[in-house]
Amino acid sequence: MRQGFARAWGIPHRALRPNPTTAARVAPRELFAFWALAFAAVRWVAPSGPLYWDSFSYAAQAVSGQVGGLGLGRPLFVLLSHGLASLALALGASLDAIEPLLRAVWGMVAALSAPLALLVAHSLGLDRQAQRWMAAAVAFSPAMAHASGQVLTDGPAVTAVLASTLCAVRAKDGDGAREALLWLGAGAALGAAIVFREPAIAHALVLYGLISLGPKGTRSRAVVTATAALILVAGLSLVWAARQPGWADTVRNWAGAMRRERAEHPYRARDFAMYLAWLLALGPVTLVAALAGWARVRRTFAEHQRAFAVVALGSLAQLVALGAYQDIAFSPRYLLGAMPGALALVAAHTLSNWARTRARIALASSAMVLSVALAGLGLGVRERPLRVAIDTVSARLRAEPEASLVIVTGQVCPAVQMQQRFERERAQREGRAPRAWQTVCPGWDWPANLQLTMQQHAREGRAVIVDLREGVWVGDRQLRARAELEAWLARGGDVARSARVWR
């Protein structure tokens, strides 16, 4: 079977054996160095506070311990965040300190993806230079750095996927207790990745593909062991989530919202164009080198073990499929899970072959670092107005005299919602009634009739706040909502005339 697979891809059978030059262990200081580089990239590129819509919800859920809102609720991520937040609060931390703490901790977890990428390359038999290029491709991915510096599941899910791949690659050719533990680790890590971010289930292609490469007598045990660990980790997390009141309703609401999203905003050529742009955001040098490697796929695979092909092809299948994802135009972070196997691994092979002189090594590595440096500078300038608006929202809310408000705003909406959850926690601790801050947000919850919605809020005694500050309304859909809001203000009426505008 091994020879047949090899012939199908033009791989000499001798290439299926591990490269003896990679047998030496990787030095811990090298692993730490790549972790430090990855974390430095995160701190440079990522915003200095919460910016992604979902990051506010995760910070609020960490305090409340409530699961729900996206997919299956990302229960393991919320559970671990809740444990960390509860410990910090018990030690005297303020509520305002929770989001920065979570941002730092999950950023450090996401940065582990770089040394794990190096270890995966090492276990696949790549030479020392290729191992370092793969780690560098992950560490210096602008999209990875930007998302990993937020309270989001994407970066930690990449770390979990790479941990699963590493365990599976090391376990596939062995037998005995050590291999059983590795298969347990591979399944458990993939289970964790799935309840961090559900699309990680696509990496089962890689896990079971690697199992199929093992000795025939061990495959059944490996399947049972890895699957049991996967189900245990993912299943227990979902059981915990399902025990919370309203969890099933949030899952149904999310599924219904996604159906409406597909109906109201069908996939168009612009979405595909953004997908191509996001591939570049994963790392320009990495993308070019990976394309060169995929263009010569038979030669690329011929120089490595069959496991290399399984990891690369399994990841590529996910990367291609994500091109049709409904919301792909919103962010490159949706592609991060497939990036290490589909791009970084193949790019590492190309760069190892091409960068054989000091000048070429310096050129490629400098280009990687430069892409991160420019991303940090450019995104910082672009995000500054929104960053200022978010940073001042808590003070603005507390400065409003009324106890009951409705705030009509754009990208700041989840920040207001997070502050409302924190306000409830503060009020409970202080033994007082909480102030009520409701929102009218663009997106799934934008009202079909804005005027009627505003009138209803006014009748219920809420003061209306309209947020028209610079940078608050982001993207075509939000700008259309803002135009509708400004038209409502221009038409006048009692409610519109009494509304206060933040500028």
Residue 407 tokens, joined: 């705030």
pLDDT at 3: 43
pLDDT in tens, 402-414: 889 999 999 999 9
Q: Which residues contact 408 (CB under 8 A, 6 or more apart)?
A: 439, 440, 454, 464, 465, 466, 467, 485
Which band of pLDDT confidence, cut at 50, 70 and 90, is reported for residue 479?
A: very high
pLDDT at 492: 80
pLDDT at 175: 65
pLDDT at 13: 39
Q: Which residues contact 154 (CB under 8 A, 6 or more apart)?
A: 110, 147, 148, 197, 333, 334, 336, 337
C-beta of residue 163 within 8 angstroms of C-beta of residue 185: yes
pLDDT in tens, 343-370: 999 999 999 999 999 999 999 999 999 9
Q: Residue 139: is its pLDDT beyond 70? A: yes
CA distance 129 to 21: 11
DSSP 8-state assignment for residue 197:
-
Q: What is the mean pLDDT of residues 235-255?
A: 88
CA distance 383 to 354: 37
DSSP 8-state assignment for residue 445:
T
Percent of the chain with pLDDT over 70: 95
pLDDT at 23: 54
* 3-class SS of residue 474: coil
pLDDT at 260: 82
pLDDT in tens, 67-86: 877 888 899 999 999 999 99
pLDDT at 365: 96
**How far apart, in Å, are the Cα atoms of 106 and each of 59, 150, 151, 409?**
12, 8, 7, 28
Percent of the chain with pLDDT over 90: 73
Q: Residue 18: is its pLDDT beyond 60? A: no
pLDDT in tens, 172-183: 877 677 899 999
* Average pLDDT score, the chain: 90
* Residue whose tokens read 């038409």: 491
pLDDT in tens, 200-216: 999 999 999 999 998 88
C-beta of residue 46 within 8 angstroms of C-beta of residue 67: no
pTM listed for this prediction:
0.91
pLDDT at 2: 42
Q: Residue 443: is its pLDDT beyond 90? A: no
Closest CA to 255 of 326, 190, 335: 326
